């Protein structure tokens, strides 16, 4: 077994997850492709590597990963769930043309610690996203802006 796989095994074990072959493959896909894929994309990619894998296995694995805070789920358009291996609080950019979701480095004025919170709620997570046209699509010659 190579070191990357060993690493993944240790990450899964440290979260109390039994590192089965399928779980390792799904985790590595998410780690190496930080594209915030939805279940359909993950399923399509996984069947290339494991032709026998079922959608249920993928759902169950992703739910387990979410329960153990290994991945977070985000829903930008409200009707599909996208999976993110970056569980640190961060914002996203959604391209309305190519529909890609990428992480965006923006310092949020509503930081968890320096929060001026007029309502006295305890805020534990901050999710923000920005919508627009990504740099790849902006430089595409055919785009009618
Ligand atoms: Zn784009
Ligand atoms: Zn992200």
| b (16+ CB within 10 A) / e for 123-140 | eeeeeeeeeebbeebeee
Q: Across the strands, what pairs with 91?
A: 104
Contacts 24+ apart (CB under 8 A), 55-58: 57/22, 58/26
The three-class DSSP label of residue 89 is coil
pLDDT in tens, 92-119: 999 999 988 999 887 766 555 555 566 7
Q: Across the strands, what pairs with 82?
A: 38, 74
Nearest ligand, CA of residue 131? 1
**φ/ψ of residue 72, rounded to 5:** -120, 155
Per-residue pLDDT, 128 = 79
Instruction: Say what the pTM is.
Output: 0.80
The answer, yes or no, to whether residue 67 has pLDDT greater than 90, is yes
**φ/ψ of residue 103, rounded to 5:** -70, 145
How far, in Å, CA of 83 to CA of 71, rounded?
7
Per-residue pLDDT, 79 = 78
What's the CA-to-centroid distance between 38 and ligand 2, angstroms?
A: 12
The answer, yes or no, to whether residue 139 has pLDDT greater than 60, is yes
Task: For the chain, list the domains and their CATH numbers.
Answer: 3-74 (1.10.10.10), 88-138 (3.30.1490)
Strand order across the beta sheet in which 101-104 lies: 101-104, 91-95, 129-132
Cα separation of the two ends of the chain: 49
What's the CA-to-centroid distance between 70 and ligand 1, angstroms?
A: 27
Nearest ligand, CA of residue 138? 1
Per-residue pLDDT, 70 = 95
What's the CA-to-centroid distance between 50 and ligand 1, angstroms?
A: 30
How far, in Å, CA of 100 to CA of 135, rounded?
11
Per-residue pLDDT, 41 = 93
Weakest-pLDDT range from 56-65, 81-90, 106-115: 106-115
């Amino acid at each position: 077994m190579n070191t990357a796989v060993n690493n993944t095994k240790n990450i899964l074990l440290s979260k109390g997850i039994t590192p089965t072959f399928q779980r390792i493959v799904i985790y590595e896909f998410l780690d190496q492709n930080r594209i915030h894929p939805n279940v359909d994309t993950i399923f399509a990619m996984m069947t290339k590597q494991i032709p026998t894998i079922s959608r249920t296995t993928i759902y169950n694995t992703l739910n387990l990963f979410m329960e153990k805070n290994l991945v977070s789920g985000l829903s930008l358009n409200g009707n599909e769930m996208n999976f993110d291996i970056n569980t640190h609080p961060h914002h996203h950019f959604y391209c309305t043309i190519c529909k890609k979701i990428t992480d965006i480095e923006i310092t949020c004025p509503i930081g968890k610690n320096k929060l001026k919170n007029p309502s006295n709620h305890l805020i534990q997570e901050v999710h923000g996203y920005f919508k627009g046209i990504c740099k790849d699509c902006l430089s595409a010659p055919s785009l009618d802006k």
